[in-house]
Amino acid sequence: MTSHPAEETMVARLLGAASAAENEALDRHLAGCESCRAAQGQLRAVLELASMTDPPPQRGTEYGADVWLRIQPRILAEARARKTPVTWWKPPYRVERRTWAVAATMVVLLMAAFLAGRHWPVPAQPIPGPARERVLLVAVGDHLERAQMMLVELMNEGDQTAGGTGATGAVDISGMQQQAESLVADNRLYRQAAAGSKDNATAAVLDELERVLVDIAHRPSTVDAGELARIRRLIESNGVLFRVKVIGSQIREREKAASPARGST
């Protein structure tokens, strides 16, 4: 009889990590060695037992979405932090520039339409419907995205303070307030445009968002934990963040449908 094989060889075989030659030699030995067969039986039993231990707790199909909700504030905060030093060819910056350009274009278009309506009974040259809708969708979609990021950042600010680091310290939210102020002006314009085009769902969300933005903009620029908690409750109370997210997604879908070639720009 050949010398007994090493235990490593048996383990490797049972775990499928042994070579064909090793398996063949082991089989030859096991055929004539009862003690090795018993030893291999034990190792197999160990591995089978390991397989029988309680499986990990099940996580439903929504688990991934839950994980995202928990990490989203930090991911978005990092994404925002990245935007500042990003070089000109990076998409985030390009999107930002286009957003402003589109928003400015829309303001001009709307003002032109408004003035035209006041001074001339007959509009000079109507903007084609599909093009106007596309411009509006792009602008509103980007606006909602910015608003969502600002609100998430503010909620996250509240988390950090509630975590104990700022129990007595004040938190400076002036940066977010400036964003809120800027968003209020745009929001009003988009809300009116949405209402004018009978898009009541979007108009309602923008209306709700506007109230929250105005409230944030008018609070003190430095707030304590209690004040932050109130702001968080304000954001949470009407589910505005969720609604902004939902309507934002819907608008993006409509935007894609209205302009299939947009992704190639």
Q: Footprint of another protein on this chain (CB under 8 A)?
A: 4-8, 10-12, 14-15, 17, 35-36, 38-39, 41-43, 45-54, 56-57, 59, 63-68, 70-72, 74-76, 78-79, 82-83, 86, 90-92
Q: Which residues does residue 172 pair with via DSSP β-bridges, in sequence order?
A: 222
Least separation in angstroms between CB 71 and another protein: 5
Q: List, as one string, the DSSP characters of 128-195.
A: PHHHHHHHHHHHHHHHHHHHHHHHHHHHHHHHHIIIIITSSS-EE-HHHHHHHHHHHHHHHHHHHHHH
Least separation in angstroms between CB 213 and another protein: 21
Least separation in angstroms between CB 10 and another protein: 7
Angle at 113 between CA 252 and CA 200, to 5 degrees: 40
Residue 38 or 167: the one with the smaller Cβ distance to another protein is 38
Nearest to 113 by CA among 187, 186, 193, 184: 193
Least separation in angstroms between CB 134 and another protein: 20
Residue 78 or 264: the one with the smaller Cβ distance to another protein is 78
Least separation in angstroms between CB 128 and another protein: 29
Residue 67 or 115: the one with the smaller Cβ distance to another protein is 67
Residue 11 or 170: the one with the smaller Cβ distance to another protein is 11
Residue 50 or 122: the one with the smaller Cβ distance to another protein is 50
Residue 17 or 167: the one with the smaller Cβ distance to another protein is 17
Nearest to 199 by CA among 148, 141, 116, 124: 141
Q: What are phi and psi of 84, to 5 degrees?
A: -60, -55
Least separation in angstroms between CB 20 and another protein: 15
Say whether 206 sits in a helix, a strand or coil. helix
Q: What is the CA radius of gyration of the chain?
A: 31
